[in-house]
Structure 1
Amino acid sequence: MSKPFASQADLTEKKISFERLSENAYAYVADGDPNSGVIIGDDSVMVVDATATPAMAQALIRAIRGVTDKPIRHVALTHYHAVRVLGASAFAAEGAANVYASRGTHELIVERGQADMDSEIGRFPRLFQSAEGIPGLTWPTVVFERELTVFLGDLEVRMLHLGPGHTRGDSIVWIPSQGICFSGDLVEFNAGVYTGDAYLSDWPATLDALQALEPRQMVPGRGPALTTPAACREAIGYTRSWVETLYGCARQGVEQGKSLKQVYEDTRRVMDPEFGHVVIYEHAIPFDVSRAYDEASGITDPRVWTAQRDRDMWAELTA
């Protein structure tokens, strides 16, 4: 390869903030890295997305212990990607007995969890610098089809699978009484939107279903916590623009018989001016165009990314 993936050169530690959204909800925002969420109920705590490694999860546990001593009993996984889920064992050590995920997420872990783990460890050396502490794949203990309700004492929390988007199994975590949404990577804001495992033609309708909930606050998968309804709408619109622009470029290129490399170059000419400045753009865009090219070519389900496929794709685009 002529140069490494952008993420392999991203070795600078990120500033982390822990922001209170309500009496019960907190945003754990990692300055461009994957965000997590915390929900503190009457009797226990739920963590939304578990970070990349047990070592990284310790920082989140310290933040939680700075505001409550209630037991961490619940972990909600918005999707299967390694950077979101492989820190879960740290919460098990804190007493977390329940790991929740959609049926689609469980199926994806079975199908491609190990390949994704191996691929992402190669892509993100900084996030996985303590990978030796990962005991293995994270498996849900509770799986749901479309909706799951969990009560943390009197506080109702719902997990909703609104449709495919970032992956086939995406879920959001929703506090209906407060209008607070933890979106996972269905929504990003001022950050790259990774679509390497996405269903691009379905994603806009899933965003419509999310917006129909009329969230008042949101923790996106990446980017700052959104604390007004207007900011939530803006972030949903930002994600929609990325997805529709990307897929439109790929469809046009495929219709014209262009190669993957040609479509990559054309897409960058369109997307760089609007999005090229945001964090992880350089990492996301090769994978995004590869998936968009596949979907536009009729490959409905995303192909499995392996460490070798990562290298082959990058070599083709940079030849």
Structure 2
Amino acid sequence: MSKAFASAGDTAEKEISFSEIGEGLYAFTAEGDPNSGVIVGDESVMVIEAQATPRLARKVIEAVRSVTDKPISHLVLTHYHAVRVLGASAYGADQIVMSDTARSMVVERGQEDWESEFDRFPRLFQGHEEIPGLTWPTATFSDAMTIYLGNRRVDIAHLGRAHTAGDAVVWVPDEEVMFTGDIVEYHSACYCGDGHFSDWGETLDMIGAFEPRAIAPGRGDALVGEEMVWAAIENTRDFVESTFAPAARVAAKGGDLKEAMAEVRKVCDPKFSDFAIYEHCLPFNVARAYDEARGLDHPRIWTAARDKEMWEALQE
């Protein structure tokens, strides 16, 4: 019997945690669902990642209101994926920030990604009727930008390609805390279907060079303390390398995608099969790894039809 498509069989609600990871800095997490981050400044609040729908965004806003009544002035989106951005309208933020590259990906594939992820994550898209349309930034940057929330400095930077070509990280220097988006995960599979395997490790090195005291990852629990931070960075590196290397070996020998899937499973299943969304991500990850190994630098666009065609082709 074929496995349920992507996360279509994941219907259980997740328990939300709202953890302080530095003074006025919070990680909104939900057992492997997409995380959000919160930065409370002197005058206003910045939220990182909008969630998939306004309904889910209101859960983040409720958490924010449990610690401050300051207005939400800025929303930072670390990349373009629908589960991260389509709840943006709920915040009423003055500024919505993305990298230039992330915005270009909304232009190129934003609608297709929305339709694709809608089928992959039906639970996350409950209340989708409220989504007014694609989310567009009001401000973009090429390499880096700085925003002041009163006296509190927040640096936003594109350190390199990883989860997508346009990933951004958010650094709060006064507390040495970073919000990494999906470049770093904790006990959750990395989604690599739009990723850049060959660049990911160098981008992780760039994150490590900041020596963060805490990280809010894209999925999974908040990482507080040097030991947890480095363990998550290295585990993410291991996941990415363990996915790419077997697929690349198959591609080099002229093998097909199904052979690549089998070889990746041999390496990854023993280490990562208990990670959140592992089975969901695996076929997409292998497909992208196989493409990159054969020289396709720019990830192909996933569509709802392509998703299901690939999924069925790779089932045992």
Please identify runs of 4+ aligned residues in structure 1 that moved more than 4 A.
Answer: none
Q: Residue 243 of structure 1 corresponds to which residue in structure 2?
A: 240
Residue among 133, 136, 144 paired with 2:133 = 136
Alignment-mate amino acid for residue 258 of structure 2: K
The alignment status of 1:232 with 2:253, answered yes or no, reads no
Partner secondary structure for residue 231 of structure 2: helix
**Aligned equivalents of 2:195 and 2:137: distance in 1?**
21
The alignment status of 1:175 with 2:167, answered yes or no, reads no
User: Could you report, residue by residue, the CA deviation over 1:177-207 in whole angstroms, capped at 9, with x for unpaired residues?
Assistant: 1110000000001111100000110111111
User: Could you report, residue by residue, the CA deviation over 1:11-49 in whole angstroms, capped at 9, with x for unpaired residues?
Assistant: 000000011122210110111001000000000000000
Alignment-mate amino acid for residue 79 of structure 1: H
* Equivalent residues in 2 for 1:1-319, closer than 5 Å: 2-92=2-92, 96-318=93-315
Alignment-mate amino acid for residue 88 of structure 1: A
Alignment-mate amino acid for residue 106 of structure 2: I
**Aligned equivalents of 1:2 and 1:10: distance in 2?**
15
Q: What RMSD in Å do the two structures reach over aligned CA positions?
A: 1.0
**Aligned equivalents of 1:197 and 1:185: distance in 2?**
11
**Aligned equivalents of 1:144 and 1:17: distance in 2?**
31
**Aligned equivalents of 1:99 and 1:73: distance in 2?**
9
State how many pairs are aligned: 316
Alignment-mate amino acid for residue 43 of structure 1: E
Which has the higher mean CA deviation after the structures are superposed, 213-222 or 15-24?
15-24
Structure 1 vs Structure 2: percent identity of aligned residues? Answer: 52
Alignment-mate amino acid for residue 83 of structure 2: V
Alignment-mate amino acid for residue 67 of structure 2: V
If the length of structure 2 is used for normalisation, what is the TM-score?
0.98
**Aligned equivalents of 1:149 and 1:229: distance in 2?**
25
If the length of structure 1 is used for normalisation, what is the TM-score?
0.97
State the shift of 1:129 in Å.
1.3
**Aligned equivalents of 2:242 and 2:206: distance in 1?**
20
Q: Is there any run of 5+ residues in structure 1 with no aligned partner, and where?
A: none
Alignment-mate amino acid for residue 70 of structure 1: K
Q: Is there any run of 5+ residues in structure 2 with no aligned partner, and where?
A: none
**Aligned equivalents of 2:124 and 2:45: distance in 1?**
24
**Aligned equivalents of 1:192 and 1:251: distance in 2?**
19
**Aligned equivalents of 2:180 and 2:5: distance in 1?**
26
User: Could you report, residue by residue, the CA deviation over 1:45-65 in whole angstroms, capped at 9, with x for unpaired residues?
Assistant: 000001100011111111111
Partner secondary structure for residue 288 of structure 2: helix
Alignment-mate amino acid for residue 309 of structure 1: R
State the shift of 1:6 in Å.
3.8
State the shift of 1:174 in Å.
0.5
**Aligned equivalents of 2:236 and 2:105: distance in 1?**
23
User: Could you report, residue by residue, the CA deviation over 1:203-237 in whole angstroms, capped at 9, with x for unpaired residues?
Assistant: 11111111101111000001110010221111110
**Aligned equivalents of 2:264 and 2:134: distance in 1?**
35
**Aligned equivalents of 1:245 and 1:58: distance in 2?**
37
